[in-house]
A and B are shown apart, each in its own frame.
Chain A
């Protein structure tokens, strides 16, 4: 059996978040699996191993939590998710419900309003000229379409981003980021619990569709609010960081921006490549349910495995020129949305939002210039910016 190298680094420190790429390389090159002594866990950072762990949900389970906390040893900080933190066969049933709610035919119905909202947003930003690409575009656009698609009331939506930030910080270890987020969480949790109830969700939205599935018996009335909560947890901050990543890429790499301007039909792939390149969701955990073998090394039952999705998405064993943002790259197979049975159930919504924004930019904007320091927002799971001052000029 292969010996597992032990590394001393902390993949949840601010220094690491500030510039993770060199450390990702260290993790990949150390071996197919590494021991991370600081948190008493294992890590996989190469594409092949990350993909293998994601695609074996029986040996590498989610029901003991997809963060550092092992639900077999401590209670979850909030009631356990019945989709994210569940395994087949239980997961199969709840997943089928959200698959239907977020299906390609539903996206066809949403497309025209999502496109119109992106065009209106870009027009308003062109009138301004200079603005913050994070607050005024990456956050403002999803906030203008997703809560309405879900059927949320207008009041209280300011809780959405803090709640999502909390959920993704809570996957991390008990560091300052996680403790601060949980300490401030009470009002956001109360808001979310309330909005998941049937009477607070407008007819025709994703939330009402989920509750309707309880009528047909596919889920129970008690399960419906928990599935709505999944969309409130994971449906907004992820696309904020995805759109932020795409705009940051296009602003930094003018040759790629020129290609997109030249052919706006590349918008969807340009967004997809930004998800690979920046990996807005950086990591997830699994827990071993038995003795397993990874890359010739043996790991026992009940161990936490940290999957570095972002490192896998730049593994030179899998990708040509992985550190280049290339909007014509064949991106299929990247793990930015995960892979296997838990692969992001909202991926079609994310792509529709990303494509709508990038298409509107490509058709209406001639140039994007970064005009001030890009500052980072730190989160235990999400990678993205706090602020990106830019100036755009009309085409």
Chain B
């Protein structure tokens, strides 16, 4: 099983064992990562599951869709080059050790 390192806004790190096939958003909400709100339940509508993906991992993610790109313009915290919606990151075995930073707000 891949594990994901979530880094909270206060730099606290939390390592969570994830299930292959789940999205990073699903892993976060199932394990009580409160910074991920995910109001729309993974429909790529709401932009409340925003994360900053560690730069080293960024090139390995699937390219973002035009929809995701537009949604990221509406995120509550600052949009950065490594901003992604965690509902759009589906986990495969090679994501073991993925590091994502959590923004300080989603709304």
Mark A residues whose CB is within 8 Å of B.
96, 99-100, 103-108, 268, 272, 330, 332-333, 339-341, 343, 345, 347-348, 351
Q: How far is the CA of A347 from the CA of B40 in the complex (A)?
A: 8
CB pair B43–A348 under 8 Å, yes or no, is no
Residues of B within 8 A of A348 (CB): 45-46
**Contact between B41 and A351, CB atoms less than 8 A apart:** no
Task: Find chain B residues with CB under 8 A from A343 CB.
Answer: 40-41, 43, 45
3 tightest A-B contacts by CB?
Answer: A104-B74, A105-B74, A104-B47
In the complex, the number of residue pairs spanning A and B with C-beta atoms less than 8 Å apart equals 45
Main DSSP-derived SS at the B contact region: loop
In angstroms, how far is the closest chain B Cβ from the Cβ of A377?
A: 27
Q: How many residues of B are in contact with the other chain, CB < 8 A?
A: 18
Interface residues of B in 46-60 (CB under 8 A from A): 46-47
Check if B46 sits within 8 Å of A332, measured CB to CB.
Answer: no
Find chain B residues with CB under 8 A from A333 CB.
29, 41
Contact B39 A332 (CB under 8 A): yes
Q: Given the complex, which residues of A lie within 8 Å of B37, measured CB to CB? A: 332
Within 8 Å by CB of B67, from A96, A268, A272, A341, lies A96
Interface set of B (CB-CB < 8 Å, partner A): 29, 32, 37-41, 43, 45-47, 67, 70-71, 73-75, 107
Which residue on A lies nearest to B29, using beta carbons?
A332
Cα distance A191–B38 when bound, in Å?
37
Give the distance to chain B from A94, nearest Cβ to Cβ, in Å.
14
B64: min CB distance to chain A, Å:
15
Whether the Cβ atoms of A104 and B71 lie closer than 8 Å is yes
Sampled A-B contacts (19; CB under 8 Å) = A99-B45, A99-B67, A100-B70, A104-B46, A104-B71, A104-B75, A105-B70, A107-B74, A108-B74, A268-B107, A330-B32, A332-B41, A333-B29, A333-B41, A343-B41, A347-B45, A347-B46, A348-B46, A351-B39
CB distance from A296 to the nearest CB of B (A): 24
Report the minimum CB–CB distance from A121 to chain B (whole Å): 21
Chain A's closest residue to B38 (CB) is A332
A94 to B71, CA, bound (A): 17
Chain A residues whose CB sits within 8 angstroms of the CB of B71 once the complex forms: 103-104
